[in-house]
Amino acid sequence: MLIHDFLTAANSDQWDKICLIHGERQLTYGELRNRTDHLARRLAGGIAQGEAVLVQLADPVEQLLYFFAIIKAGGACVLIDSSAGADVAAAVRERHQLPHFIDEAFPLPANDSALPEIHQEDIFLGAFSSGSTGSPKLIWRDHQSWCRAFPSQNRIFGLSGRDTLYITGSLVYTGNLNICLQMLAAGGTVTIAAGRMPRRWVHELISCQATAIYMVPANYRLLLQAMDRPLSHITAVSSAGAKLDPHTASQMLLLFPKARIIEYYGASELGHITYQTAAELIEHPGSVGKAFPGVTITVEDGIIWVESPYLAPQYRPKASIGDLGQLDDQGYLSLHGRMQGIINSGGVKVVPEQVEAVLLQCPGIAEAAVGGIDDPIRGQLVCAWLVKNRPELKNRDVLAFCRERMFPHCCPRKIIFIDAMPLTASGKVDRKRLQEYTAD
């Protein structure tokens, strides 16, 4: 099975059905097929089979049009945040040797070329796992690694071609992209939120007659705060990207009374790993659930290892991303943090060491430490503790420097200037003591 098989299947009943909604814009399956065929033939002459294309577009519908077109043309698509600066995009292209770049100013070639034959072992996606521009990590995905999971995802999440799925946030986030492709492969409809305001989400959930929702926990907390009554037409709710807390899960059960509510744990490198219902989450609050179908989990010296048909090619047959945890007698997996101390801010992962490396390039900064601080909505915020050697250096100067050189999600949300960096007896940064400086 290929990611875009649903656009080649001979199902005449499907072509007039709406597949994508974003604001006032709607696209049918037939329009998606025709538009992507046209774009693919124009792109095919300039993309050698297997070459990667960096795509930086703000409109999610345009993102998907070029995404499928690139794949049909034999390339692999790499999506980058539209708010990232030109320097960030250039650094990504150079580091990963990405030969092609599509943005708002991209001139579409004038001539058509023949389309190549695509196989399930071919790479179709390069997904950013985490990191700043210091060393962003690309995970390469072949068709089979995602397509193999779709049947189990549909069954576990309670989704089918009859559903209209509502998602918030960017398709650069692989959780959003994955479930969007899953829904399209099933023949359903995907509505992508047209804004960031939770009250707008509530309005769109009703107006588009959504039956299913996928969000990270931070966005569910915002959505629940904006709701003034239960939404009984929602039948499937899924959450990933960060741990869902029991209080939020309990609220979801009240406000989505007819929904199957699922939390799952996964990673860009490893795919889906575990899942559990909201009721299981409340009963086992420290757990992220039991193994996804086809997945074998082992814990060796406290480190979680995964064997799975959903692993990215370069991680097969068995891999770990450094998450720490344990399995209980019933098969429930609990997470105990990550070896590298990665920050999880609203479902987006940030590597502290990479942000520190960029900060130390900023004139006026002598020392830098980066970590996560607790936040009731996002779980964690990126915080930077800085020792400066130029008294005139201000927060705004540091933020301006960061915004030019890092992905938006890596930029510190809080900056704290300190006189000296606290150290442990071994001379390492004492990150526990740094937390004492976070009080306002």
- Report how far residue 357's alpha carbon sits from residue 350's, in angstroms, rounded to the nearest whole number: 13
Q: Report pLDDT for 134.
A: 41
- Report how far residue 263's alpha carbon sits from residue 286's, in angstroms, rounded to the nearest whole number: 12
Residue 301 lies in a domain: no
Q: Report pLDDT for 352.
A: 85
| Residue 211, pLDDT above cutoff 90 | yes
Alpha helices in 158-228 (DSSP H): 174-186, 198-207, 217-226
- Report how far residue 82's alpha carbon sits from residue 64's, in angstroms, rounded to the nearest whole number: 14
Q: Report pLDDT for 437.
A: 85
Of 234, 282, 255, which is closest to residue 263 (Cα–Cα)? Answer: 282
| Residue 42, pLDDT above cutoff 60 | yes
Same domain, 108 and 200: yes
Same domain, 286 and 358: no
For the segment 118-142, the average pLDDT, to the nearest whole number, is: 81
pLDDT digits (tens, 9 = 90+) for 68-101: 999 999 999 999 999 888 998 999 999 999 999 9
| Residue 131, pLDDT above cutoff 50 | no
- Report how far residue 263's alpha carbon sits from residue 268's, in angstroms, rounded to the nearest whole number: 16
Among candidate residues 252, 269, 292, the one where a domain is terminated: 292
Same domain, 281 and 380: no
Q: Report pLDDT for 133.
A: 38
- Report how far residue 252's alpha carbon sits from residue 233's, in angstroms, rounded to the nearest whole number: 13
- Signed CA dihedral, 129, 296, 236, 208: sign only: positive
- Report how far residue 21's alpha carbon sits from residue 361's, in angstroms, rounded to the nearest whole number: 43
CATH (domain of 50)? 3.40.50.12780
Among candidate residues 252, 273, 292, the one where a domain is terminated: 292
- Report how far residue 1's alpha carbon sits from residue 309's, in angstroms, rounded to the nearest whole number: 14
pLDDT digits (tens, 9 = 90+) for 173-200: 999 999 999 999 999 999 999 999 999 9
| Residue 426, pLDDT above cutoff 90 | no
Residue 337 lies in a domain: no
Q: Biggest alpha carbon distance in the chain? A: 71
Going by pLDDT thresholds of 50, 70 and 90, the confidence category of residue 429 is confident
Residue 150: which domain range?
5-292
Count of C-beta atoms within a 10 Å radius of residue 201: 23
| Residue 344, pLDDT above cutoff 80 | yes
Residue 325 lies in a domain: no
Neighbouring residues of 97: CB distance < 8 A, sequence distance ≥ 6:
none
Residue 19 lies in a domain: yes
For the chain, what is the mean pLDDT?
Answer: 93
Q: What is the DSSP letter of 435?
A: G
Residue 309 lies in a domain: no
Six-digit token pair at 21?
């909604």
395 touches 384 (CB < 8 A): no
Same domain, 113 and 183: yes
pTM comes to 0.84
Residue 391 lies in a domain: yes
pLDDT digits (tens, 9 = 90+) for 308-330: 999 999 999 999 998 888 999 99
Q: Report pLDDT for 130.
A: 55
| Cross-strand partners of 276 | 263
Cis geometry, peptide bond prior to residue 246 (ω within 30 degrees of 0): no
Q: Report pLDDT for 132.
A: 36
Q: Report pLDDT for 372.
A: 92
Going by pLDDT thresholds of 50, 70 and 90, the confidence category of residue 427 is low
Between 427 and 213, the more confident residue is: 213
Same domain, 277 and 347: no
80 touches 91 (CB < 8 A): no
Q: Report pLDDT for 439.
A: 60
Q: Report pLDDT for 425.
A: 55
Six-digit token pair at 227?
């709701």
Residue 316 lies in a domain: no
Going by pLDDT thresholds of 50, 70 and 90, the confidence category of residue 36 is very high
Same domain, 97 and 242: yes
Among candidate residues 252, 271, 292, the one where a domain is terminated: 292
Same domain, 260 and 359: no
For residue 384, which amino acid is it?
Answer: A
Q: What is the number of structural domains in the chain? A: 2
401 touches 368 (CB < 8 A): no
Give, for 191, the enclosing helix (H) or strand (E).
Answer: strand 189-192
Q: What is the DSSP letter of 77?
A: E
Phi, psi of 40, rounded to the nearest 5 degrees: -60, -45
Same domain, 98 and 237: yes
Same domain, 166 and 238: yes
CATH (domain of 364)? 3.30.300.30
